[in-house]
Amino acid sequence: MRWRAPYHCLLLTFLCVVVWGGAISAFRICAYNLQKLDSHKASNNRVLHTLTRILSRCDITLLQEVMASDSSSIKSLLAALNRKTQRYEGYRYSSVSSSSLGKPDDLQKYVFIYRTETVHVKGQHQYQGQNHFVRAPFAVYVHSNTTAIKNFVLVGLHADPSSAVQEIDHLYDVFKQVLNKWNDKNVMFLGNFHAGCAYMTRRDKKNIRLFTNTSFLWLIGDKMDTTITDETSCAYDRIVVYGKSFLKAIMPFSANVFNFPQEFKLTRKTALQVSDHFPVEVKLKSSALLLQATPLLLLLTIALRCFLLSL
């Protein structure tokens, strides 16, 4: 006699798989130095397509080197991400940006692009303080219902190469300011710190409070290469978190460099049209811990019930 599972059992199994898949999908935080993103660069369809593929992987992404002279580049990115013909899992994307920062002939903005379904930006803050930064850090206070840790602060920095050590050290002052503003110690720093090679040596670490204070944890290590070109092998781009509570909310070993040319099968020449940096990323644990812990048992229970009903 041919075995046939009851229809409702098959439906329950399917729903279980769908819920399980949704429960274990991690919340991804990314940072990407776009190497002078302007309207001209965003008008290149190949570049724009690659950028949308990169950004659509992340729940929230810090973009750096967005040129302040023309805001149309971000409008083009958002239009591409939100285009109905694209298949980006049904998410909609929005953005929040800093003021124009930097030298008069090189004004840039920090821009956070995020999924509106998984991210709520509760506040934003432009660092105010002494003139310690060429481009003062920009922070957002984020809430997410999908993560084990509900509220956290993301602070973006694109350090100037000539003052990288001093700027990284003064991130400690930024930490104190955002802590005073939002009273939340779950703080993550991310961006191109120029924290490697000649700009920051091992000897420099003793002069940087984010190294001497062991409560700050560097998730992108010194040996990682965040640059595309053969001429450099440097961990310029970093992700740093404060405190054990935030560290516990991060998926182990999820802090990585995203090698998009390899993933998307692009030539180095094509990749360099987008940027000479790789994005860096880290994943937060999902809030659905029970579903993550017991999906196999649940599936076995349903399968056994279906088998017994089919007898």
Q: Is residue 310 part of a domain?
A: no
Instruction: Determine the Cα–Cα distance for residues 52 and 45; give it in Å rounded to an integer.
Output: 10
- Domain with 174, as residue range(s), is 26-285
Arithmetic mean of pLDDT, 201-224? 97
In a domain, 206, yes or no: yes
Domain count, the chain: 1
For residue 11, the model assigns a pLDDT of 44
Q: Is residue 10 part of a domain?
A: no
In a domain, 112, yes or no: yes
Specify if 113 maps to a domain.
yes
Q: What is the pLDDT of residues 128-142, one digit of tens each?
A: 987 899 999 999 999
| Helix 295-310 with 7-24: angle, nearest 10 deg | 170
58's enclosing H/E stretch is: none
Structural domain includes residue 88: yes
Query: Is the residue at 235 inside a domain?
Result: yes
Q: Residue 265: its pLDDT value, please?
A: 97
CATH number of 94's domain = 3.60.10.10
Report pLDDT digits (tens) over 88-145: 668 999 999 999 999 999 999 999 999 999 999 999 999 998 789 999 999 999 999 9
Cβ burial of 103 (10 Å; 0-12, 13-18, 19+) is exposed
Contact 241, 216 (CB under 8 A): yes
Residue 194 lies in a domain: yes
